[in-house]
Amino acid sequence: MEQPEVLRLRILIVGGGIAGLAAAYCLGRAGHEVVVLESSLTMKEIGAGIQLGPNMSRLLIRWGLADRLNEKAVKPHYLSFYRYDSGERIGFSWLGKKMETDHGAPYYHIHRRDLLHMLHDIATPFMELKLGCRVVAVNTETTTVLLDSGHELSGDLIIGADGNRSLVRKAVATGFADQPESLPTGDMAYRATIPLHLIIDDAELRALVSPPQIHCWMGPDRHIVGYCISAATEFNLVLICPDTDMSSDSWTQSGNAEEMRRMFKGWDPRIQKLLQLVDSPLQTKIMLCTPPTRSSFRRVVLIGDACHPMLPYRAQAAAMSIEDAAVLGRLFSSITDVRQISLLLYGYEEIRKPRILSTLRDTWSNRRIFHLPDGPDQILRDTSMRNGMMRALAKESHKGAGNANMWADHQKNQEQYSFDGDQAVDDWWEYIRGAIPPKL
């Protein structure tokens, strides 16, 4: 029997960041008319380094970006954890080839700017990008958006990819009488990049970047992560510490380098050297945004940070956005009737919600583990990590679970990094095959 043609929808995407551009590519490639509405006049990024685990890189490679990733991104060989004061290494995990062997795709580090450019380039043939278009209202009844210019645009589907402070989230939440809030976690982040040659020129610091690797220093109420980005020409630093300006309404602003150094006084001497190389850090308030009851209402759906803002303790925010886009694109690649939109959005919810909740649990767990004060719990953490490190350095196979270092926990790695967004959609269709319309 002849298969019905895929219905071409008009899809409005609010937000032209990582989530929005990825969704534009996936849905445009599936045959839909895609319009991306970005409030900025230029494509710009906030922040610097992004970690690309195999769950994310497998999709980017599938989208044809392997060569560009190998050109611009960096593959870390391993991950090390350190005591904050002495710099003693207490945890270790192999990455590099082991990640590819265990999970079928590489582990990369990349500058956010480079990833944004890649996504823009592959999405461009499939989308109309409207810059300087600020959405000021979303009508879920008519599937329309109102721009600050007074113009109104309509579509068959609206996707909110407008980040942590999402306007579209408010429209979806209203449908369930939710009151989404943004609450301070009590943490803030300093972010900075250092030209790699400055690190290489210092004999004590050189080993931090040769070979490329991830470093994580853990201390009471704070931690630091560092790794190479930009084709190994820059070193990315993220420093998490208590928020000193809880009352501020500004989430992102220029930071004070002297204040940053004061927050980490007494830490590993290598940290003191690295921080002396930072002139102008970016300071970000880490907020917890309560999600709506569901990710969609009527024909409006949320993706990325607009749907489920991720905290920076598991390095999965960008990955969740890419997975969201892949799942939506694959679901809507088979639509033949506009009445099927509700079913497909139900599928999106069923596939993504358990995945997001699991990742959020791990994120909060890492925050606690990284920030333990010195004492009995910290000693237990360090002992657990050391045991995993000894096995890793001896290259002993260990398939168990429960290591305080999640990257050394085989079960956690399988759950996080072996996930395939496309396969998840196929599995969902298989699961409900007896209940779906035959023409789908």
50 DSSP assignment: E
Asked if 323 and 352 touch (Cβ cutoff 8 Å), the reply is yes
Residue 256 in this model has a pLDDT that exceeds 80: yes
Q: Which is higher by pLDDT, 223 or 411?
A: 223
Mean pLDDT of 184-198: 95
Residue 257 in this model has a pLDDT that exceeds 70: yes
Listed in sequence order, the DSSP H helices in 315-408 are: 317-331, 341-370, 376-393
Q: What is the pLDDT of residue 398?
A: 56
Residue 245 in this model has a pLDDT that exceeds 90: no
Asked if 345 and 332 touch (Cβ cutoff 8 Å), the reply is no
Write out pLDDT tens, residues 311-341.
999 999 999 999 999 999 999 999 999 999 9
Write out pLDDT tens, residues 277-306.
999 999 999 988 877 788 999 999 999 999
Q: Is the pTM of this model over 0.85?
A: yes
pLDDT band per the 50, 70, 90 thresholds, residue 182 = confident
Mean pLDDT of 258-278: 97
Q: What is the pLDDT of residue 439?
A: 42
Write out pLDDT tens, residues 91-143.
999 999 999 999 999 999 999 999 999 999 999 999 999 999 999 999 999 99
**Domains with residue ranges and CATH for the chain:** 10-46+111-182+289-368+417-435 (3.50.50.60)
Main-chain dihedrals φ then ψ at residue 377, nearest 5 degrees: -65, -40
What is the enclosing helix (H) or strand (E) of 128?
A: strand 127-131
Q: Which is higher by pLDDT, 45 or 244?
A: 244
- Tell me which residue of 311, 440, 295 sits closest to 368, measured CA to CA: 311
Q: How many CB atoms lie within 10 A of CB 151?
A: 9
Contacts of 427 (CB under 8 A, 6+ apart): none
pLDDT band per the 50, 70, 90 thresholds, residue 250 = low
Contacts of 433 (CB under 8 A, 6+ apart): none
Mean pLDDT of 68-84: 97
Displacement of CA 405 from its chain's centroid (Å):
19
Q: What is the pLDDT of residue 392?
A: 87
Asked if 152 and 282 touch (Cβ cutoff 8 Å), the reply is no
Percent of the chain with pLDDT over 70: 92
Displacement of CA 111 from its chain's centroid (Å):
13
Asked if 193 and 48 touch (Cβ cutoff 8 Å), the reply is yes
Mean pLDDT of 31-43: 93
307 DSSP assignment: T
First to last CA, the chain: 13
Q: Which is higher by pLDDT, 296 or 44?
A: 296
Contacts of 151 (CB under 8 A, 6+ apart): none
168 DSSP assignment: H
Average pLDDT in the chain: 92
Q: What is the pLDDT of residue 252?
A: 79
Mean pLDDT of 417-425: 96
Write out pLDDT tens, residues 380-418.
999 999 998 998 888 765 555 556 777 777 888 899 999
Asked if 72 and 110 touch (Cβ cutoff 8 Å), the reply is yes
Three-state SS for 395? coil
Per mean pLDDT, which of 4-8, 242-246, 413-417 is the most reliable?
Answer: 413-417
CA gap 283, 254 in Å, rounded: 6
Three-state SS for 175? coil
Residue 436 in this model has a pLDDT that exceeds 80: no
CA gap 431, 30 in Å, rounded: 22
Q: What is the pLDDT of residue 180?
A: 63
